[in-house]
Amino acid sequence: MSYELFIAKRYLRSKRKTGFISLITYISIIGVMIGVAALVIVLSVANGFESEVRSRIIGFDAHVRVRTFHDRGIESEVLPDMLKKLDDMAHVTGVAPCIFEKGLIVSAKSKQGVFIKGIDPEREPKVTTLIDNIVYGSLNLDTLHVEKGKAYPGIIIGRWLGDRLAVNLGDRVQVLTAAGVETGGMGSMPRFRTFRVAGFFETGLYEYDDNYAFVSIAEAQRLAERRGNVSWIQLKLTDMTLAEDVARVIEKQFGYPYTTDTWFEMHQNLFAWMELEKKFFFLILSLIIMVAAFNIVSTLIMVVLEKRKDIGVLKSMGAHSRHIMNIFVYEGLVAGSIGTVLGLILGYAVCFLQLKTKFIALPGDVYIINAIPIEFHWLDGVAITVASLLISYVATLYPSYKASKLDPVEAIRYE
């Protein structure tokens, strides 16, 4: 241990002539601790929410989507062969075709614009989590006789959408699409079909629960006048991080006119926004540590004034200005390090407690999750530690520099 660090630790532990200096030292340590703990907790919660949102979005949309460049759909003639080849690819665990159209859903009391997704009820559960998100009813899209001998195919809608339409299980709704039907001199009329509500799903994401409806792929083809083709093919992988690699293999194997979209590309803006939000939290909460750093500056300035004689003696014994500066830099860094370590312990203790006991609950009727989610990223811990120590170091430079420039003769003369 260098003598500068030894003296710095002695100064930090020694009793002051004025208790006020010791009080500010403790306040600065506590300030750093609170700032670090706040950063740990907030970033862990942000990670938890991001992970929760990502899992729900990816579960709803699959890992990779295969489509044509012009978005005219995949022809029925090549569809069976493509499904077989994609099923046989490495890392692929599920393949499902679907149709995607915009339309209007009309009930007896209301109407709403929707995204209509035509699915294969047997293949869809292997690719997405739709069946797990059904809160009422079932994934039964078959045509059933409802009343007076009339048969209607099933439709599954989001819970929020159901509330807007004021419908219950078994109620009838009409779905209209822009695919026109020629009616002679009167021009064209939109296609429409009558469905029975077979179920309600809830993902916890308003964008989906208020805007999506699912029908069988055959009914979607009739609505959209697809004549056997599909909009795209969805793939689920053994590991979603392999999406880019699998997408490149698919594009190379099938060539033009086929292309792919990965889960990240489909929701790039959302994930970029969440990452920006984390950086914003980091910047704002770092201000707490900066405020604590001002206390370190104040403490060191007063310690320098109190230890003028010691500085003079050390310089008269041959201590270089750099050594004097190091003493006070080390003292500030030790205080900052203590606050940082205590903050990390406090922050991770609170997060671990929430992870195990879920003592901060969320109302189940408002949120799809029942407690604040927590997820640890070790890089966040490293960034917080580095930022805290760097701020503490910068805070020591001015008072340490002033101490190093004291004239030893003048310092001793007035003591």
Q: What is the mean pLDDT of each run of 10 residues along the chain (415 residues)?
A: 73 59 79 93 91 85 90 86 92 93 90 92 90 87 71 90 92 83 58 89 87 92 82 92 92 90 89 88 88 84 78 78 85 90 96 90 68 90 94 90 76 59
Distance CA 100, CA 118 (A): 6
Tokens 């300035």 map to which residue? 301
Tell the residue number behind the tokens 């809160």, with chain if given. 135
Q: What pLDDT digit, counting tens, does each position of 112-156 carry?
A: 999 999 999 999 999 998 888 899 988 888 876 666 667 889 999
Between CA 320 and CA 329, with CA 324 as vertex, the angle to 5 degrees is 140
Q: Are 297 and 273 in contact (CB under 8 A)?
A: no
Task: Identify the pLDDT of residue 97.
Answer: 94
Mean pLDDT, rounded, of the chain? 85
**Quick one: pLDDT at residue 188?**
60
Domain parsing of the chain, residue ranges? 3-57+270-413, 70-255
pLDDT for position 274: 86
The set of residues, in sequence order, having a beta carbon less than 8 Å from that of 328 and lying 6+ positions away, is 8, 300, 303, 304, 396, 399, 400, 403
Question: Quick one: which of 343, 324, 337, 332 has its CA closest to 299?
Answer: 332
**Residue 179 exposed, middle or buried by CB count within 10 Å (0-12, 13-18, 19+):** middle
Distance separating alpha carbons of residues 175 and 373, to the nearest angstrom: 38
Q: What pLDDT is recorded for position 21?
A: 57
| Spatial distance between the Cα atoms of 139 and 128, rounded to a whole number of angstroms | 13
Task: Kindly report the pTM of this predicted structure.
Answer: 0.77
Q: How much is the pLDDT for 310?
A: 77
Q: What is the pLDDT of residues 374-400, one digit of tens each?
A: 999 999 999 999 999 999 999 999 988
Q: Checking DSSP bridges between strand 111-119 and strand 258-262, what pairing results, if any?
A: unpaired
**pLDDT in the model for residue 321:** 80
Dihedral sign (CA 361, 365, 366, 369): positive
Output the pLDDT for position 295. Answer: 83
